[in-house]
A and B are shown apart, each in its own frame.
Chain A
């Protein structure tokens, strides 16, 4: 046997092995995609069966549903937004715009929807603040490289996990029954959730810091608080801020949903307005909510880019 045939033999073997490998790989890929498709069809059928109205029965009526949404008089959207009396007002709740005015000083008023939007945004801001204030110390305790005690670290980590996974509406419901139905219960619920969510992100940042400044401070006899304050905090604060801003974006959305289940704010009004089919009011609310969320997102993205640069938008795999 010559070396040339030997060589071609190995090549053929390699090629065969490669072909076998790829065909196996293709088989697995096809299997996964197939399973996913089956699961998708099964879940679609399940969701449709369990729903009050079925997809194909309701599909032809989608446009009817849109018909109430488009107001007969487009100016009513602006009137609803700014609480200006509408000529279409026939004493029903659909066009009673001026009733919602919140008078501040004499004839000067804040339109109702702006006030509600302000409530929702304030709920988000205050609860993010609560989350930040507790998450920062927790994150130092929960970080492997900074923790003062491993047992304490485990306790804090589990506690934060629990806060993160606990359904917010249950906390909100519990505090609605003890404190009051309204924004304060929503603040507590979202705040507690934010502690868990921010705490996790924060301690992961803490675990990736450069430890040399910390060692330097340890060498000169600094205690735990001083080490954390002067070695760790300056490194992580921009990242903390960036994640907190991201949390504000998320919390604005959650506090809107909380509103719809009794937490006050714009969510409640939106739910009422859609369920009663008030076209102009719904459009005004959606417009306001959309603009606010868009602006909050854009502002936060701008600020985050200033704080940590493009790192804020990099994706981890």
Chain B
């Protein structure tokens, strides 16, 4: 046997499979045309969105900063040097509460202050005349007496000298800004500040054990209310994290998806029977209903949401109504398609016993389609739970609007992350419930199909 094929053999194979070796030109070249078209379109899109310019003007350095703010918070003490005595001042709503006395701000015996940003390795020590910043193994002395801050010696690359200010960046840990009349420190901590109790709460600053013993056996912190009720109230109304509001809004999102999908299903259910080609009493009615379903779907959830927000005011009612109207279209379409695909034999059987129209549907059609209907509805419910978040941002209620507002200020990324985590959790739970139920249903459906097959 020859190791290579002869020309005749190759030709014989080509002749045997003309559909592979002699394809018409348009079939051979359409992938190439498709790719060329895509490339041309992308070039157009590049120009259309003026992408090079947008990318040039974007601030990518903000991205890691924002992402780090998702899981961290900072404290920004400021030290005035032009007062008689140097005292640290904290912003009004600082995470440390009203009496901040952190152990990383040290008043030395010689009257200087030391602020440890990352232990002693990254710190700043200063008095009214001079400051010295330590980071990355280098200590840089700064003189503050000459009307503007002056670095003595070489300037390391992590330090920027402006006209009247010196900025020392210390990476994730924070930064120091020095001018002649003030020293500003930003120290970053990993974690979420005051997640349970805010600074106004009497439980603020206490350890979990202390809080627990107070709740179990402590004296009433606020006369007339039990400590347990007070703690719950303080957590629910935490000013910074707004647990109560966030959870209520989350519930609104869930309710919007549930109510919209359920009502959509209830309305679409009877309509689907009149829209299904094989069941409808009149072909015109079927066509009209199908176009109606198309219309409800095509008008789009956004338009419905905007209209209902105007009609009912912002809130979950508007969101539910928007999902409801879209779902009439979507579920009506899928229901009627399911009805059109049924096996006609059970129906004919019931019909032959002389049953009336309603009974034929009940015993001849319903057992076959109900699992499919429920499965489709669950699937829509699942995807609407996701969609309800985004529809909320236009004013239709729920967590979406809250998320959008928290993001607009660009300063509340930890709250955003908190809400994102909750949303992910909800989506995860609902996905699993819906998947579990649908698996159960598909088993029933599968059994039904198997019985059908065995019988025939």
Mark A residues whose CB is within 8 Å of B.
36, 39-40, 43-44, 46-48, 50-55, 58, 61-62, 65, 118-119, 122, 125-126, 129, 162, 165-170, 173-174, 176-180, 182-184, 187, 253-254, 256-258, 260-261, 267, 270-271, 274-275, 286, 289-290, 293-294, 297, 313-317
- Residues of B within 8 Å of A54, CB to CB, are 312, 317
Stretch at the interface among B126-134, B162-170, B213-221, B402-410: B402-410
Q: How far is the CA of A212 from the CA of B450 in the complex (A)?
A: 28
Check if A51 sits within 8 Å of B315, measured CB to CB: yes
B54 and A180 contact, CB distance less than 8 A: yes
Give Cα A275 to B255, complex, Å. 25
Answer whether A53 and B55 are a contact pair too, CB < 8 Å, given A46-B255, A47-B255, A257-B391: no
Chain B residues with CB under 8 Å of A43's CB are 255, 258-259
Task: Point out the residue from A177, A257, A260, A317 that lies within 8 Å of B62, measured CB to CB.
Answer: A177
Q: Report 7 cross-chain contacts, Cβ distance below 8 Å, ordered by A residue.
A: A47-B255, A47-B319, A50-B252, A173-B403, A179-B58, A183-B49, A258-B390
Shortest B202–chain A CB gap in Å is: 30
Q: A52-B313, A253-B302 are in contact. Are A261 and B420 (CB under 8 A)?
A: no
Assuming the A-B contacts A62-B311, A178-B59, A317-B375, are A290 and B316 also in contact, with contact meaning beta carbons closer than 8 angstroms in the complex?
no
Known: A52-B313, A169-B390. A317 touches B442 (CB 8 A): yes
Residues of A contacting B295 in the complex (Cβ-Cβ under 8 angstroms): 290
Asked if B300 is at the interface (CB within 8 A of a chain A CB), the reply is yes
- Complex Cα gap A48–B313 (Å): 11
**Alpha-carbon distance A48/B319, docked complex (angstroms):** 11
Distance in Å: Cβ of B337 to nearest Cβ of chain A: 7
Of A65, A122, A274, A289, which is within 8 A of B48 by CB?
A122
Q: B-side interface residues toward A, CB under 8 Å?
A: 38, 41-42, 45, 48-49, 51, 54-55, 57-60, 62-63, 66-67, 248, 251-252, 255-256, 258-259, 262-263, 294-295, 297-303, 306-307, 310-320, 334, 337-338, 341, 371-372, 375-376, 386, 389-391, 393-394, 397, 400, 403-404, 407-408, 410, 416, 420, 423-424, 427-428, 431, 438, 441-442, 445
Enumerate chain B residues within 8 angstroms of A40, measured Cβ to Cβ.
Answer: 259, 262-263
Nearest CB on B from A88, distance (A): 22
Q: Total A-B residue pairs with C-beta atoms closer than 8 Å?
A: 195
Contact A47 B315 (CB under 8 A): yes
Roughly how many angstroms separate A169 CA and B302 CA in the complex, as a whole number?
Answer: 14
A286 to B256, CA, bound (A): 23
Partner of A165, one of B54, B410, B424, B442: B424
Chain B residues closer than 8 Å to A50, beta-carbon distance: 248, 252, 315-317, 397
Chain A residues with CB under 8 A of B63: 174, 178
Minimum Cβ distance to chain A for residue B307 (Å):
7
Interchain CA distance A177-B300 in the complex, whole Å: 28
How far does the Cβ of B281 sit from chain A's closest Cβ, in whole Å?
24
Q: Which 3 A-B pairs have the closest CB atoms?
A: A51-B315, A52-B313, A53-B313
State A206–B246 Cα separation when bound (angstroms): 40
Q: Which listed residue (A46, A169, A286, A314) contacts B299, Cβ 8 A?
A: A286
Cβ–Cβ < 8 Å partners of B416 in chain A: 170, 173
Distance in Å: Cβ of B401 to nearest Cβ of chain A: 9
- Tell me the bound Cα distance from A261 to B310 in angstroms: 16
Picked from A46, A51, A267, the residue with its CB within 8 Å of the CB of B251 is: A46
Measured CA separation A47–B259 after assembly (Å): 9
Contact B251 A178, beta carbon cutoff 8 Å: no
- CA A63 to CA B193, docked complex, whole Å: 50
Q: Which residue of B lies closest to A36 (CB)?
A: B262
